[in-house]
Amino acid sequence: MKFTEEHEWLKPEGELVTVGITKHAAEQLGDIVFVELPEAGRSVSKGEEVVVIESVKAASDILAPLDGEIVEVNSALADSPGLVNEDPMGAAWFFRMRPASMADLDGYMDEAAYNAMIG
């Protein structure tokens, strides 16, 4: 897995990358009450807003970590946004994408570097 400075995790799986937020991010947000996901089939550019998360504390945007196409979204989050608090690194993934280049993952942190960043 790779991690962004914005507390997203990226898990390469074949030609796809699954994206979610870290446990640290979910804890900082508090109880998640709403998740707005992108449409499957949408082309995105790195840095583009793709997911909106609302918690009891704040609203946050999740940005596309890579250029590519969203190929699948986790529709379970629409009915159960609290999954993000329960299992942020597993069942509460947001979307799967086909990146324009898997090599772009190399620019992100590994787990040890991420854990050092959050201290």
pLDDT digits (tens, 9 = 90+) for 96-119: 999 999 999 999 999 999 999 999
User: DSSP E strands: which ranges in the chain?
Assistant: 2-3, 8-13, 16-21, 32-36, 43-44, 49-55, 59-63, 68-73, 95-99
Whole-angstrom distance, CA of residue 93 vs CA of residue 87: 9
Domains of the chain and any CATH numbers: 2-118 (2.40.50.100)
Q: How confident is the model at residue 31 (pLDDT cuts 50, 70, 90)?
A: very high
Query: What's the whole-number average pLDDT of the chain?
Result: 96
